[in-house]
Amino acid sequence: MPRDIDDDASSRMDDAEEHLSLEQRRVAAAERSKLSNLRHEVRQAERELARRTRAVQIGLLALIVAGGALLTGLGWTALAWGSPATFLRVDIICGALILIAAAVVLVALPRRDSRRLAAMQDDLDTKREELRFLSSLYYPTLKERRSLYREDVAGVIEQHRADSRKYWLVHNVLQNLIMVGSAATTTVAALDTGGKLTWQSVLIVAIGFTVTLSAAFTGYYKYRERSYFLLQTADAIEEEANAVALGIGPYKNFGPDQQQQALKLFTQRVEDHRNEQRRRQQQLDQPADPAPQTGASPAA
C-alpha cells in the first residue's frame, strides 16, 4: 500500500509522547494526592491513639489514687477508732479523693462503643505499612527535589536564627550572673567579720557556688561560640537564597532556561554551608586538648 504524503510519522510520535507525558503527569499528581491524604490519615490516627493512651493512663492513675485513698481511710479508721474526731478528718479527705478520682475515671476512660487501643494500634500499623509501600513507589524527580529543597531553605535559616538567639540569651544571662555574683561575693565577704554561721557566710557559699556553676556551664557548652557560628551560617544561606533569586553573584551567568543548573549550584553551596556548620558544631562538642607532655626525661 502506498504511503500517504500527509502521513507525518514524526508528528504522530511527538503527539503520542506528549499524550504519554500528560498521562504520566496526571498519574503522578494522583499518586501525590493519595500519598498526602494517607499521610494526613496516619497523623490523625497517631494523634487519636496518643490521646486515647493518655486518657487510659490518667484513668488508671485515678483508680490507683482512689484505691490508695480507700485503703488509707480504712486503715486510719481502724487505728483511730476510739477517737472519732481524729479519723473523721482523714476519712473526709480520703472520701473527697475517691470522688474526684471516680469523676476522672468516668471522664477519661473510653466508652463501651469506642474502639479499643489494640484495634486502633492495628489500624495505625496498617496505614503506616501502606504509606511505606506508596512512598517506596513514588519518588520525586530531581527537579522536584531541588525545588522542594529551595523552599525548605527558609525553614533552615529561621531554625538557625532561633537557635542562635537562644544560645545568645543563655550566654548573656550566665555572663551577667557571673559578674553580679562575683561583685556580690566580694561585698558580702567584706561584711563577714565573725567565725559563726551567719547569713553572710551562707550567702557567700550560695553565691560562690552559683558563680562557679555558671562559669562551668559557659566554658563547657560555649554558648557564645555556638550563637556566632549559627548566625554566620544563617547569613551565608540567606545570601545564597537572595543571590539565586536575583540572579547575582555566582548565579549571574545562568539564563532563564538554565534554572535547573542554578538550582543545582544553589543546592550544592547551601549544603556546603550546612556541612561547615556541622563540622564547627562537632569541634565545639570536642573536649579541650590535654596539655602536651614533654618527651625529655629528667637528668639522672
Mean pLDDT, the chain, rounded, equals 77
| Confidence at residue 292, expressed as pLDDT on a 0 to 100 scale | 45
The pTM of the full predicted model, rounded to 2 decimals, is 0.47
Per-residue confidence band for 13, with pLDDT thresholds at 50, 70 and 90: low
* Rounded CA separation 217/102 (Å): 47
Q: Does residue 111 contact residue 5 with C-beta atoms inside 8 Å?
A: no
191 pLDDT more than 50: yes
Provide the pLDDT confidence category of residue 176 given band limits of 50, 70 and 90: confident
Longest dimension (CA), the chain: 123
pLDDT in tens, 133-146: 777 666 667 777 77
pLDDT for residue 192: 61
* Cα distance between residue 119 and residue 222, in whole Å: 49
62 or 6, which is more confident: 62
Q: Is 234 exposed, middle or buried (0-12, 13-18, 19+ CB in 10 A)?
A: buried
- Let me know: does 157 contact 273? Beta carbons within 8 Å: no
Q: Which of 61, 56, 54, 69 is nearest to 99 (CA)?
A: 69
* Domain boundaries of the chain, sorted by first residue: 13-137, 142-285
